[in-house]
Amino acid sequence: MFRVKGGKKIRIAFYLLVAAGAGLFTFLLIHQGAPQVIAAFASAGWWIAAVVVYHFAVPLFMDAFAWWSLFPRTERLSLWELFWMRWIGESVSTLVPSASVGGDVVRARLAALHGIPISTSAASVLVDITLGVFVQIVFTLLGLALIVTSTGHQGFVRPTLIGAVIGVLAIIGFYVVQRLGMFRFIGKIISRLASADDWHSLVRSGHTLDEAIRTQYARRSGVIGCCAWTGASLIFGSGEIWIALYALGLNATIVNSVILQSMVLTIRSAVFPVPGALGVQEGGYVLVGNLLGIPGDAAFALSLIARVRELILGIPGLVLWQVIEARRVLRARSPANAR
């Protein structure tokens, strides 16, 4: 009964967030002028394809390299394998409404299915997420400094700094509990509550995962490499915004691109419960774009270009994921059918 009620509450909250995001999206579209937004988006033409190719070839590749850096050499898959796993994970996170972090689970599972020990694959993703959030906070502060120096506007300073401090403290806390052995502790609690021998394996599994996490943090070259490649991905990821700005005939500068990239990512992260950041991303582009002198309809069009890029890359990624899972199920059933 409790589970049913809890599930209903989660679904209701999910639908309310979707409705709120859709409402904000519609309001912004009407307020900025739907015809003007569509005309601005259409003016980008084939440059949208360049945005798609750039994202696939540059930031996505760098994200894969960041993840690759964390694996010990004896347990490391090829960069190409981790690249398409990262692509699938990103597709799940951006296009599956109820899976804002589901993509990270999927890529850890795919790595395990391809021979990486489960503890290592899960640890690599957890460490990658932790370091990624830390680097993104630094990137946010860079964007904030650029806003102040280029526009003189300081309205963002206080809330952004407060958010950054909270984020840093949260990451430090998460890092500390990882080093202390959070999963073994969780396993102990569950096994004691269950009072069954079958659940005691959770303690052993949690201990193995904790050791794998400590091992990865102990590899300084892996940690530094992950942070460096993640930072490069964020900075060079601004290139796709530069392409979109150029396509729309706007002031395409590196500074404007980095500001938009950092601030919109920060806004998306702050409201992660909203599926796909629907409406929120558009509001972020319009708000930050206004500070940079970008018209509202053009700023909204920038967000639409990002949405189209997510669809063009995400749909094939989801299809590939389903093909991989279907082939795995068929292979598992073949011996059973033979018997």
Average pLDDT over every residue of 13-34: 74
pLDDT value of position 244 = 93
pLDDT for the residue numbered 339? 54
Buried b (16+ CB within 10 A) or exposed e, 84-114: bbbbbbbbbbbbbeebbeebbebbbbbbeee
pLDDT confidence tier of residue 49, bands split at 50, 70 and 90? very high
Contact between residue 300 and residue 286 where contact means Cβ atoms under 8 Å apart: yes
pLDDT score recorded for residue 2:
40
Helix 296-338 and helix 34-43, axial crossing angle in degrees, nearest 10: 70
Q: Which two structure tokens, joined as six digits, stand for 138? A: 């630094």
Is a pLDDT exceeding 90 seen at residue 188?
no
pLDDT confidence tier of residue 7, bands split at 50, 70 and 90: low
Answer whether residue 148 shows pLDDT above 90: no
Tokens of 156: 């963002």
pLDDT of residue 238: 94
Q: Which residue has the higher pLDDT, 125 or 209?
A: 125
How buried is residue 41: exposed, middle or buried, by Cβ count under 10 Å (0-12/13-18/19+)? buried
* Spatial contact of 211 and 180, defined as CB atoms under 8 Å apart: no
pLDDT of residue 79: 92
What is the phi/psi pair of residue 294, to 5°? -90, 125
Q: Name the residue ranges covered by the structural domains of the chain.
A: 36-332
- The mean pLDDT of 85-113, rounded to a whole number, is 84
Residue 86 pLDDT: 95
Cα–Cα distance between 311 and 333 in angstroms, integer?
Answer: 33
Cα distances (angstroms) measured from residue 233 to each of 65, 67, 227, 237, 320? 10, 12, 10, 5, 24
How many Å apart are CA 201 and CA 174, to the nearest integer?
A: 24
277: left (phi over 0), alpha (psi -120 to 50) or beta: left
| Mean pLDDT value of segment 50-76 | 93
Q: 4 falls in which pLDDT band (50, 70, 90)?
A: very low
pLDDT in tens, 233-286: 999 999 999 999 999 988 888 999 999 999 888 888 777 777 777 778 888 888
Spatial neighbors of 79 by CB under 8 A, at least 6 apart, are: 64, 65, 68
* Distance between CA atoms of residues 220 and 226, nearest Å: 10
* pLDDT score recorded for residue 325: 86
Q: How high does pLDDT run on average in the chain?
A: 81
Q: Which of 125-129, 130-134, 203-207, 276-280 has the lowest mean pLDDT?
A: 203-207
Nearest residue to 279 via CA among 295, 300, 263, 260: 300
In the numeric block, which tokens belong to residue 45? 């033409």
**How would residue 196 be classed by pLDDT, with cut points 50, 70 and 90?**
very low
Per-residue pLDDT, 33: 74
Residue 64 makes CB contacts below 8 A (sequence gap 6+) with 79, 82, 83, 85, 86, 87
